[in-house]
Structure 1
Amino acid sequence: DMLHTHIEELLQVWEGKHEFSSHSVNYTLSGKRLDIQLNARILPGYEDSWERVLLAVENVTERETARRKLTHSEDYARGLFEYSPISLWVEDFSAVKRLFGDLRQIGIKDFRVFTDVHPEFVERCMQEIRVIDVNQQTLTMFHAPDKQTLLSRLSEVFRDDMRPHFNEQLSELWHGNLFHQREVVNYALNGEQLHVHLQFSVFPGHEQDWDLVLVSLTDITARKKAEAYLEFLGKHDELTKLHNRAFMVDEMNRLERKGPFPVSIIMADLNGLKDVNDQLGHAAGDALLRRIGEVLGKAADRPVHAARIGGDEFAILMPATDERGAVAMMENIQSLIDINNQYYSGSPLSLSMGSATSQHGERLEATVQRADALMYEDKRSYYAKTPGNERRQNSPE
C-alpha cells in the first residue's frame, strides 16, 4: 500500500525539494495497518548527499477511518438518490420564501384571494425555483438524454395544467405546511402528459429559508388511464361508445330534480338487427350497432345525451327542448343515417323512433313510456312496409 505514495515522495525530491510529505500506510510488526501522515526534511548541510533526513510520522488511522466511513456514507446516500425507482428533485425555494416575505410585509393576509387577483405571481414563483439536481429515474420518466438538457427545458415540463396544482402547493407553503403531497400533471420532453403523485418536503435544518427541498414524483399515468377507462365503462356502452342505461337513469333523476324543463325524450330501436345476426353473424350485427353509435354520437351534442339502453334500444335525452326540438332532432338523425348508408356497403341502417316531451308535473319515466309507445308504432309501420316481415309487426325486436 505504501508504494504509490513513496513514488510521489521520490518525485518531490527529484524536483529538488528539500521537504516532502505524503499520506501513506505503515504496518506494525503484528501486521496491523496504520494510516500515517509523513513529513520529511533533508537536514541542513546534507542537501547534496541526503545522508541525514528527518522523518516525522503521525498516526492518523482514526481520522482516516472516520473519513472512509464518511465517504462510504456519502456514496451510499448518493446511490440511493441516483438509483431510486422514483423521480427525485433537489430544489431551492429560497426565492419563493423571500417573495412570501414581501407579501406579508405589505399586509397580504388571504393568499388565495391574492393569487386569484394576481395570477402572474404564481407564474413568477414557478420561474424563481432553482433545480439543484435530479436523479436517473427523472431522466427516464421525462425522456431527457441528460441532466443539462432537462434543466435547460424545464418550461416544457412545468406548464399548462401544472399551474393550478402549483398554486395549491404555494398555498400549503403560505400556511406553513412544509410537507405535503398531491396528484399533479407534468409533461415529458417528448410532449407526453404525465400524471404524477408529488411529495414535497423541506430538508430538516432548512425550514427558515427553504433553500434545500426534496420533491419526489411517482408516475401514476397508467393508473389514471385505468381509472378513466373504468369510469368510462361505468357510464358508457363499450361497443357503441354511447352512454349506457345506468347513466340514463342517473341523468333522468338529475333532470327531474334540477331540469331545465321541458325535457324531451326520443326512444329508438334498430330495425332488422336480428335478421342480420341470423343471416350474417353477430360480427355484422355489431358493426351495425357501432354505426348507429357513430350517428347518435354525432347528433347528440351536449347537453343532449344519447344512450344504448338495451341490445338494439337507444334513448336520447334532451333538456330544455320542446316538441319541435325533438322532431328536429329525429329529422337530423334520419339525415345522418342516410349519409352513413352512402359510405357503408352491406346492410343499411334503419331506426324506428318515437318522441315525447314531459308535461308539467309528469315523471320522466312516464315520458319514456309515451315515447316508447310511439316508437313501436313507427316500428310496426316499418315492418308493414317491408316484405317478408309481417310476423314482426306486432312484436318488438
Structure 2
Amino acid sequence: MFNLAPVSLWLEDYSALKALFERWRAQGVEDLQAHLQCDPLLLSQCSASLKVLRVNQRTLDLFSAASQSELLGQLAQVFRGDMHTAMVREMVQLWEGRLEFTNETVNYALDGRRLDVRISIRVLPGHEADWGRVLVSLEDITQQVQGAARLRRSEHYARDLFEYSPVSLWVEDFSAIKLLLEGVRAQGIVDFKTFLKVHPEFVSRCMQEIRVIDVNQQTLQMFGATSKEHLLNNIGRVFRGEMQESFAEQLQDLWDGKTVQQREVTNYSLSGDVVHIHMQFSVLGSHLDDWSLVLLSLVDITARKKAEAYLEYLGKHDVLTQLRNRAFYAEELNRLTRKGPWPFAVIAIDLNGLKAINDEQGHAAGDAMLRRAGEVLAKAVDAPACAARVGGDEFAVLLPGLDERAAQVVRERIQSLIELNNQFYSGQPLGFAIGIACCQSGEGVEAALHKADQAMYEEKRRYYQHIGAERRR
C-alpha cells in the first residue's frame, strides 16, 4: 500500500530533530522562529536532523529519480531555494507540539523542474514520545499554483486595462432599473414615451437606482475628483440639468430592447464646468437577463463641441463687428417673409465716411470704426430683432412684429447710443445714414427693403451735401 499509493510518501525519522529541540529548550530558547532567524545555519541543523527511511514509487516518478538511493543522494537539489521559508513554518509547528499539520512549499525534481507541493506531516501513532516515525505525503499542486498565478496575472492585466484606459470607464448595475421597467410593463403600459411625459418623476427615480460599481483613473481626471469616493459621494453634481432628458432617451431605448447604445450627453465636472460627452452604453452579454453589469465608456468631446460652436458662430456672424453676417441675414429674411410675424419693419443703415477714413487714416482706422458701429447696433436691439452687417459699410436691422412707429423708437435708441459712443471715443465721430420702412405681409417685404434703402440713400445724400457745404465754407 505504501509503495503503490498515488501520492508521494516519505517515511522519515525525526528523533534527532526532537533531541535538537530539547537541547535548545534547555539552553533557554523560547521563540524558535526568532532563534532560527538569528543564524541561517540553525535551519541547516534542523534539516540535517531529518532522516529519510523510505520513499515510494510515486516519489521517484515525481522527482525524476531512477532509485531511492539516487534521490537520497541528491536531496540538496530537491530541497533548496524557496522551500526554506516554508520549512521554518514546519519547524515552528513541531516546536509548538503539533504532531499533524499541512503546509505548502516548493521542491525541485532532479531534472530541474520546480514543483509546487502541498506537504502533510504526521507523527505516527506510538512514536509521539520520540518522533521516530513520521509519515510525510506530498501532493503535486504545480498545475493549480501555476493556474492561479496565470489567473492573477490575467486579473491584473484586465484591471490595468480598465484602470489606465485613455477613456472614462464606468461599471454600473442597472438591475433595479430593469425591475422598474418590468413593473411598468406589468401595469399594461404600451406607449412608454407618453408614460414618461406624464410621469417625469419616473426618470428621476430610475437615475437614483443606478449603482456605480467602479470607475477608472481617466474618469477621476475628467471630472476633477481626487478619489473614487470623492466622485461617487458627489455623483449628483455630475449628472444634473440636461442629463435627465438624455437619460429619458436612454430609458426609451432600453424599453425598446436596445442594450447597446451611444449618444452625446452633457455632464458636469465637480468644479461646475460643462463636460460634453460621447457615451457608449452596453449591457454585458453574460448579464442580459438582469442588467447587473453595464459598461459605459465616456469620451470628452468638449473641445470638439467648442470648435463646432465657434465654426457655427463664424458661419452666422461677422468676425469684425460681432453682428450677424449677410448669410444669416438672407436666411432670416427668407424665414420672416414666409412666416412673419407681422407687421415687419426694417432699418437700412450705412456708415458715413468710411471710405474717407480708409483713404486718409488707413484700413485699421476704418476697421475700428466698423467695430464701433457693431457695438452700437448690438446694444440697440434685442431678440427677436436682428442686426446684421450686409456689406462693407452697410448694415440692416430686422424688426419682426414691429410697425413703423416702433421702428422709429429703435432708430432713436440707435442715435442715442451713437452720441454715447462718440463721447467715449475720441477722434472721428461715428455717424449713420438710416432709412426705415414697414410692411404688413410677405408680399410687401421686397418693396419695404427697397423703400428703406431709398430713404437711407436720401439721408446719405443730404449728409454729403452738408459735408460739401462745410468744406466750401
Q: TM-score range by the shorter chain?
A: over 0.9
Q: Cα gap change, 1:38/1:237 in structure 2, threshold over 3 Å: closer, same or farther?
A: same
Partner of residue 197, structure 2:
116
Q: Deviations over 1:108-140 (max 9, x none)?
A: 221111111111111111111110000000000
CA contact 2:337–2:441 (8 Å) conserved in 1: no
Matched, 1:357 2:438: yes
SS at match of 2:398: strand
RMSD: 1.9
Mapped partners of 1:361, 1:42: distance in 2: 109
Matched, 1:183 2:235: no
Q: Cα gap change, 1:23/1:365 in structure 2, threshold over 3 Å: closer, same or farther?
A: farther
Note the C-alpha offset of 1:59. 0.9
1:173-212 equivalences under 5 Å are 173-212=254-293
Partner of residue 149, structure 2:
68
Mapped partners of 1:297, 1:217: distance in 2: 39
Mapped partners of 2:237, 2:331: distance in 1: 40
Moved more, 130-139 or 261-270: 261-270
Matched, 1:289 2:370: yes
Partner of residue 323, structure 1:
404
Note the C-alpha offset of 1:210. 1.0
Mapped partners of 1:389, 1:77: distance in 2: 85
Mapped partners of 2:470, 2:393: distance in 1: 17
Q: Cα gap change, 1:5/1:354 in structure 2, threshold over 3 Å: closer, same or farther?
A: same
1:12-161 equivalences under 5 Å are 12-161=93-242
Mapped partners of 2:258, 2:286: distance in 1: 15
Partner of residue 224, structure 1:
305
Segments of 5+ residues of structure 2 without an aligned counterpart are 1-81
CA contact 1:2–1:24 (8 Å) conserved in 2: yes
CA contact 1:383–1:389 (8 Å) conserved in 2: no
Q: Deviations over 1:280-299 (max 9, x none)?
A: 43333322222221211122
CA contact 1:183–1:195 (8 Å) conserved in 2: yes
Q: Cα gap change, 1:6/1:285 in structure 2, threshold over 3 Å: closer, same or farther?
A: farther
Partner of residue 261, structure 1:
342
Q: Cα gap change, 1:359/1:211 in structure 2, threshold over 3 Å: closer, same or farther?
A: closer
Moved more, 332-341 or 234-243: 332-341
Q: Cα gap change, 1:362/1:355 in structure 2, threshold over 3 Å: closer, same or farther?
A: same
Larger radius of gyration: 2
Q: TM-score, normalised by structure 1?
A: 0.93
Selected match of 1:303 from 351, 366, 384: 384
CA contact 1:42–1:53 (8 Å) conserved in 2: yes
SS at match of 1:386: helix
Q: Cα gap change, 1:50/1:253 in structure 2, threshold over 3 Å: closer, same or farther?
A: same
Mapped partners of 1:146, 1:47: distance in 2: 57
Aligned partner letter, 1:175? D
Note the C-alpha offset of 1:262. 2.6
Q: How many residues align?
A: 391
Aligned partner letter, 1:319? P
Moved more, 12-21 or 182-191: 12-21
Q: Deviations over 1:85-118 (max 9, x none)?
A: 1100001111111111221222222111111111
SS at match of 1:21: strand
Q: Deviations over 1:153-178 (max 9, x none)?
A: 00000001111000000111111111
Q: Cα gap change, 1:381/1:26 in structure 2, threshold over 3 Å: closer, same or farther?
A: same
Matched, 1:233 2:314: yes
Moved more, 170-179 or 275-284: 275-284
Matched, 1:213 2:294: yes
Mapped partners of 2:208, 2:441: distance in 1: 57
Sequence identity (%): 58
